Amino acid sequence: MTSSSSDPPRRLGEFELIAKLFAPLATSAGAFGLADDVATLSLPPGHELVAKVDAIVEGVHFFRDDPADLIAKKALRVNLSDLAAKGATPIGYLLSLSVAPWCTDEWLTRFAAGLGEDQVEFGLSLLGGDTTATPGPLALSVTALGSIEAGRTIRRRGAQPGDRVFVSGTIGDAGAGLALLKGGEGPHSLSERQYLIGRYRVPQPRLALGLRLVGLASASLDVSDGLIADLGHIAEVCRVSIRVTASSVPLSPACANFWGHNAVQRAVTAGDDYEIAFAAPESARTAIMQAAAASEVPVHEIGYVQPGAGVTLLDDHGQPASMGRAGFTHF
């Protein structure tokens, strides 16, 4: 019997899928080769566990025709970015995968290969998880686990009036990349288009920098929903006001070319940057720049903390600049 073109692709069974594609990724002894219901972890003496879970969904965080290995890497890296902002060292991760009808064995094999490549790059292991089938869009959730010396996690709470505000890397690239994938007009340079789309598809968790910010940063988080929106979380929990100078926000040439005269306002409200935004005492500025150089990650001072509430973007005249929205929200 032949199948019609509308029939779903034939796939490995659930347990075949686990044994063939995912068990080889369970390199930690505590993962038991994915042959048990749980995993075990041992932490160095005096350390505590840092945990983070993020889900990504087809049509919201990635497109169906994005390369499978890059979807896998994004799912893992958006979680590693949170660990980086807390100053933690990754240990391993759990994966929950809801497989859509269109996913083929070839797609799943490439997906697993992407995870394997990142495991080597970031030095961690798959510890366990769950696989299900869904009639809806592809959805996956990663729980990343890290380790840090007890009491040293860099929290959102801690920024004080007088602190300076910093951000790693460049802002707005991923938002521009997403706009390009949606058919937006942009740079005529193929290399610039590829760069922006790459920044959307494959975040770069700043783990080396995060480790060096422990003891320097007073408050920190990763930029996922937009620089202004995420700094707003720090302002809220610390009950302070944050002022960001528009001309200090770091933009790549490709991003500046894409957004044009409105580049900064668009960049600071776009999501998916996965850079580290943090506050620190002014006295830590030199040490922070040394940490940036040692990590080979650029860091820019973009503003300051003062009494008050909320986040304000200041123009060249020191006046509040119009932004429209602060950032991305799911609801």
Strand order in the sheet with 164-168: 219-222, 276-280, 164-168, 299-306, 241-245, 310-314
Task: Summarize pLDDT for 62-71 with one digit per residue, the tens.
Answer: 999 999 999 9
Q: What is the rounded distance in angstroms from the CA atom of residue 230 to the CA atom of residue 136?
A: 30
The whole-number pLDDT of residue 329 equals 47
Task: Summarize pLDDT for 89-147 with one digit per residue, the tens.
Answer: 999 999 999 999 999 999 999 999 999 999 999 999 999 999 999 998 999 999 999 99
The whole-number pLDDT of residue 137 equals 94
Q: What is the DSSP string of 29-54?
A: GGGGGG-SS-------TTEEEEEEEE
The whole-number pLDDT of residue 1 equals 30
The whole-number pLDDT of residue 2 equals 35
Q: Are 245 and 316 in contact (CB under 8 A)?
A: no
Q: What is the rounded distance in angstroms from the CA atom of residue 138 to the CA atom of residue 212?
A: 36
The whole-number pLDDT of residue 3 equals 37
The whole-number pLDDT of residue 7 equals 55
The whole-number pLDDT of residue 324 equals 61
The whole-number pLDDT of residue 149 equals 97
First CA to last CA across the chain, in angstroms? Answer: 46
Regions in the chain scoring below 50 on pLDDT:
1-5, 328-331
* Domains, the chain, with CATH or none: 14-149 (3.30.1330.10), 164-314 (3.90.650.10)
- Counted residue by residue, the chain has a size of 331
Q: What is the DSSP string of 75-98?
A: HHHHHHHHHHHHTPEEEEEEEEEE
The whole-number pLDDT of residue 118 equals 97
Strands (E), the chain: 47-57, 89-99, 125-133, 139-149, 164-168, 219-222, 241-245, 276-280, 299-306, 310-314
What pTM does this model have? Answer: 0.90
The whole-number pLDDT of residue 275 equals 98
The whole-number pLDDT of residue 320 equals 83
Q: Look up tokens 């069974």; give the residue.
A: 13
The whole-number pLDDT of residue 126 equals 96
The whole-number pLDDT of residue 36 equals 86
The whole-number pLDDT of residue 4 equals 40
Q: Are 235 and 242 in contact (CB under 8 A)?
A: yes
Residue 70: helix, strand or coil by DSSP?
Answer: helix
The torsion angles phi and psi of 303, rounded to 5 degrees, stand at 180, -160
